[in-house]
Amino acid sequence: MNESINQVQTKYLNLNKTIVLESSKTLSNIKIAYETYGKLNENGDNAILICHALTGDAHAAGYHSKDDKKPGWWDTMIGPNKAFDTNKFFVICSNVLGGCKGTTGPASINPDTNKPYGHDFPVITIEDMVKVQKELIDYLNVKKLTVAGGSMGGMQAIEWTIKHPEYVKSAIIIAAAARVSAQGIAFNAVGRNAILQDPNFNNGNYYEGNHPEKGLAIARMVGHITYLSEQAMHNKFGRDFKQDKPNFDFGVDFEVESYLDYQGRIFVDRFDANSYLYITKALDYYDPIEKYGGLENAFNKTNAKFLIMTFDSDWLFSTESAKEIVNALIKKEKKVSFIELSSPCGHDAFLIEWEKQARIIKSFLKEE
Amino acid sequence: MNESINQVQTKYLNLNKTIVLESSKTLSNIKIAYETYGKLNENGDNAILICHALTGDAHAAGYHSKDDKKPGWWDTMIGPNKAFDTNKFFVICSNVLGGCKGTTGPASINPDTNKPYGHDFPVITIEDMVKVQKELIDYLNVKKLTVAGGSMGGMQAIEWTIKHPEYVKSAIIIAAAARVSAQGIAFNAVGRNAILQDPNFNNGNYYEGNHPEKGLAIARMVGHITYLSEQAMHNKFGRDFKQDKPNFDFGVDFEVESYLDYQGRIFVDRFDANSYLYITKALDYYDPIEKYGGLENAFNKTNAKFLIMTFDSDWLFSTESAKEIVNALIKKEKKVSFIELSSPCGHDAFLIEWEKQARIIKSFLKEE
């Protein structure tokens, strides 16, 4: 049995420079929340940067205190002898720019006003997230690294290989694509609309009053539909009623409604509605295919070795969409391993089916 | 070129009886809005009842006035020499119980209070809709009929064959299933939540004030995602921006957002939020498989000839789910024709791809 890392803590780096964003706007006084596990070697080349998905954070592994009920979000994969083996590697995870888990985002204090940014926070992109991560990597004296992530984390990994080819030894891209589909944008747009229309939203300046929790909960419900496959929903809930029979009212009636209702309710306690707006927008905008006139061009300079993993029931980031990355890499004669794993869990599989992934990642990292 | 029916009008039937609903509650003073096209023959056996989908109405064909820009919602299919040939058949379409297009629904006046029902309106089911349609059919002296419908209309057609086997000669079920999947319930639940959480909702008693239009628009946006296939969204909008480049704000940015925004906005002018709640609930509840212990049992008494049509890109009511009906009918040695049509249009195909359907339906009805 592999053990978990004990007693980790989130650290903070304050950047003493101004970052120019993709939108041409600037951000100063950026704080980055991050955690590290394992030790960096002398050459600074045994690092693995873990990039988190839409609602993740820097706390990827271990426990913050003995009282913690749950370890970090990818604890199954990060630790001694695990897929990302902390006996060998220096594993880093940081909260993304625009997030609400310690790194500067719309809920942070705007130094110009001494109030939370709200919608004075500039719209950020995946490129901007990576730009900020690069500052952290330099600060930590990392010279070479592996980048790994699922879903939006996979997009950040792609961006690393494009923007910093001299740094990236290998990239592990799980349940991700080079860009979101029109349908993916549509789902994100519905979620954003639910937040924007919430009467508590107040143009994003709600931090002193009630938060737009109802809108955020609806956004999360929509999200969860896309994270599960139809089959997974059928297997988990079917058409079962919560109380064995129809209530003939508009309360929570079916098990699947109860699940979504619960997911919506618990989410608002741990996430900021503005961060949801900013990060989904970053997701929607990311499009290296358009930006570079094809993925082949985007990958021109990379010498990284790629591992692309998908799940057959993932309809948010389908195998078909991930194959765009694979095919571009093959065309450019880059090193790429591709595997589609079978799972009924849909997009969520990247967090659930860790054993299959762990075996593959371990072997992929051993080859280096 | 087939012509449209000219100058039709919606008629109204007031039922002078009390209807006992599936919930055991009762409704009195029910008004039914309906239209008819063509003439009933002496035997009363050339009737076709058209059942509409979630947001449809009784106005299925022709024009109400010369100034009308659009004919009824299925005018492509109903008229002289069309699929439902009004030279041969007596075609009927009525607005469903719970609707907001003339038939009694939550916006109707409650005779007990002289105010709109709001949520004093009882929760209704597909079975209740058919019960009310049966009253209309009897009033019109119809003795034998064909029932036809797409989506929720197909569910009503199924219910007719189960409940009134002595009346139904044939059933045409398009882009429908015997029941909604867990994922389908989930999408409807999100839409209902958006309405229920709208600050104007006021427990459903909003008729004297502002209507919960924002919630209803969000519900409609979710609906439209399910009506189009991923491919159809890709073909129609791709990742195009409305103004050629990103706005770096949270307004309408991508073409697909603009489409959903527009669909949401125009919908609130023509539909009542309470009807949306009641009708989606009826959709979710319908489950003859559970009710009769299998579809084979449900279809025990029917002698109707069935035509089941699906569209390969429809993921709301997939071919797989429709095959449950087909397989049950085959097991019971009933007459059934099944065809999966190829279309990129998703669920919407049943309203768009009318030419393919028309040829098949014409030939199916000729065989009688």
- Bridge pairing between strands A115-116 and A109-110: antiparallel
For chain B, the distance separating the N- and C-terminal CA atoms, rounded to the nearest angstrom, is 25
What is the predicted pLDDT for the residue at A207?
97
Check B122 against A284: CB less than 8 A apart: no
- Bridge pairing between strands B115-116 and A305-311: unpaired
| pLDDT (tens digit per residue) in A39-61 | 999 999 999 999 999 999 999 99
The stretch B319-331 carries a mean pLDDT of 97
Is the pLDDT at A257 greater than 60? The verdict is yes
- C-alpha–C-alpha distance, residues B250 and A313, integer Å: 31
Nearest chain A residue (CA) to B121: A249
Is the pLDDT at A6 greater than 80? The verdict is no
Closest-CA distance, B310 to chain A, in angstroms, reads 18
Residue B200's pLDDT band (boundaries 50, 70, 90)? Answer: very high
Active-site residue, selected from the candidate residues A59, A164, A224, A347: A347
CA A279 centroid distance within chain:
9
| pLDDT (tens digit per residue) in A66-100 | 899 999 999 999 999 999 999 999 999 999 999 99
Do B218 and A193 contact (CB within 8 A), yes or no? yes
Residue B4's pLDDT band (boundaries 50, 70, 90)? Answer: confident
Active-site residue, selected from the candidate residues A314, A321, A343, A348: A314
Closest-CA distance, B316 to chain A, in angstroms, reads 10
Check A239 against B290: CB less than 8 A apart: yes
Mutation pick from B121, B183, B262 vs chain A, by most beta carbons of A within 10 Å, is B183
- C-alpha distances in Å from residue B9, one per residue of A365, B6, B15, B41, B96: 73, 10, 19, 21, 17
ipTM exceeds 0.90, yes or no: yes
Option in A182, A190, A236 nearest B239 (CB) = A182
Option in A189, A218, A237 nearest B197 (CB) = A218
- Bridge pairing between strands B168-174 and B305-311: parallel
Other beta carbons within 10 Å of B337: 17
| DSSP E strand boundaries for B272-351 | 305-311, 335-341
Check B233 against A187: CB less than 8 A apart: no
Between vectors from CA A50 to CA A80 and to CA A230, what angle results, nearest 5°? 100
Q: Tell me the three state secondary structure of residue A116.
A: strand
Do B229 and B314 contact (CB within 8 A), yes or no? yes
Judged by a CB distance cut-off of 8 A, whether residue A320 touches chain B is: no
Tokens representing B227 are: 């009506």
- C-alpha–C-alpha distance, residues B26 and B281, integer Å: 18
Place of tokens 């103004």: B243
Place of tokens 């789910």: B321
Check B239 against A281: CB less than 8 A apart: no
What is the predicted pLDDT for the residue at B367?
75
Judged by a CB distance cut-off of 8 A, whether residue B262 touches chain A is: no
Closest alpha carbon to B53 in B38, B83, B74, B76: B74
Check A234 against B185: CB less than 8 A apart: no
Judged by a CB distance cut-off of 8 A, whether residue A203 touches chain B is: no
Do A200 and A210 contact (CB within 8 A), yes or no? yes
Residue B340, beta-bridge partner list:
B310
- C-alpha–C-alpha distance, residues A161 and A138, integer Å: 16
| Known catalytic residue at A52 | no
Check B194 against A192: CB less than 8 A apart: no
Is the pLDDT at A289 greater than 90? The verdict is yes
The stretch B289-298 carries a mean pLDDT of 97
What is the predicted pLDDT for the residue at A367?
74
Nearest chain A residue (CA) to B125: A248
Do A329 and A294 contact (CB within 8 A), yes or no? no
Residue A368's pLDDT band (boundaries 50, 70, 90)? Answer: low
Active-site residue, selected from the candidate residues A108, A151, A313, A343: A151
Do A283 and A188 contact (CB within 8 A), yes or no? yes
Check B123 against A182: CB less than 8 A apart: no
A181 CB neighbours in chain B (<8 A) are 230, 233-234, 239
Closest-CA distance, A123 to chain B, in angstroms, reads 6
What is the predicted pLDDT for the residue at B25?
97
Would you call A179 exposed, middle or buried from its count of C-beta atoms within 10 A (0-12, 13-18, 19+)? buried
Nearest chain B residue (CA) to A25: B248
Judged by a CB distance cut-off of 8 A, whether residue A234 touches chain B is: yes
Is the pLDDT at B23 greater than 60? The verdict is yes
- C-alpha–C-alpha distance, residues A24 and B352, integer Å: 44
A237 CB neighbours in chain B (<8 A) are 182
The stretch A167-172 carries a mean pLDDT of 98
B233 CB neighbours in chain A (<8 A) are 181-183, 186
The stretch B63-70 carries a mean pLDDT of 92
Q: Tell me the three state secondary structure of residue A149.
A: strand
Place of tokens 């860009």: A179
Closest alpha carbon to A167 in A140, A150, A147, A139: A147
Helix (H) or strand (E) holding A171, with range, is: strand A168-174
Is the pLDDT at A1 greater than 60? The verdict is no
- C-alpha–C-alpha distance, residues A206 and A209, integer Å: 5
B122 CB neighbours in chain A (<8 A) are 248
Judged by a CB distance cut-off of 8 A, whether residue B205 touches chain A is: no
Do B196 and B163 contact (CB within 8 A), yes or no? no
Amino acid at B74: W
Check A248 against B221: CB less than 8 A apart: no
Tokens representing A34 are: 């991050």
Judged by a CB distance cut-off of 8 A, whether residue B285 touches chain A is: yes
pLDDT over 70 percentage in chain B = 99
Amino acid at A127: E
Judged by a CB distance cut-off of 8 A, whether residue A250 touches chain B is: yes
Closest-CA distance, B36 to chain A, in angstroms, reads 33
Judged by a CB distance cut-off of 8 A, whether residue B256 touches chain A is: yes
For chain A, the distance separating the N- and C-terminal CA atoms, rounded to the nearest angstrom, is 25
Judged by a CB distance cut-off of 8 A, whether residue B181 touches chain A is: yes
- Bridge pairing between strands B31-37 and B90-94: antiparallel
Tokens representing B294 are: 């299998």
Beta carbons within 8 Å of A131's beta carbon, 6+ residues apart:
A19, A21, A97, A163
Mutation pick from A248, A261, A279, A320 vs chain B, by most beta carbons of B within 10 Å, is A248
- Bridge pairing between strands A11-14 and A31-37: antiparallel
Is the pLDDT at A206 greater than 90? The verdict is yes
Active site residues of B: 151, 314, 347
Q: What are phi and psi of A353, to 5 degrees?
A: -85, 60
What is the predicted pLDDT for the residue at B1?
45
Please tell me what DSSP assigns to residue A321. Answer: H
Residue B368's pLDDT band (boundaries 50, 70, 90)? Answer: low
Do B62 and B77 contact (CB within 8 A), yes or no? no
Tokens representing B53 are: 């989908």
- C-alpha distances in Å from residue A26, one per residue of A21, A97, A278, A281, B3: 6, 13, 15, 18, 63
Closest-CA distance, A247 to chain B, in angstroms, reads 9
Judged by a CB distance cut-off of 8 A, whether residue A111 touches chain B is: no
- C-alpha–C-alpha distance, residues A263 and B311, integer Å: 33
Half-sphere CA count of B83, side-chain side, radius 13 A: 21
DSSP letter for each residue of B88-150:
T-EEEEEPPTT-SSSS--TTSEETTTTEE-GGGSPP--HHHHHHHHHHHHHHTT--SEEEEEE
The stretch B124-128 carries a mean pLDDT of 98
Check A181 against B234: CB less than 8 A apart: yes
| pLDDT (tens digit per residue) in B173-183 | 999 999 999 99
Longest CA–CA span in chain B (Å) reads: 67
Please tell me what DSSP assigns to residue B346. Answer: G
CB pairs under 8 A between A and B: 149
- C-alpha–C-alpha distance, residues B170 and B240, integer Å: 45
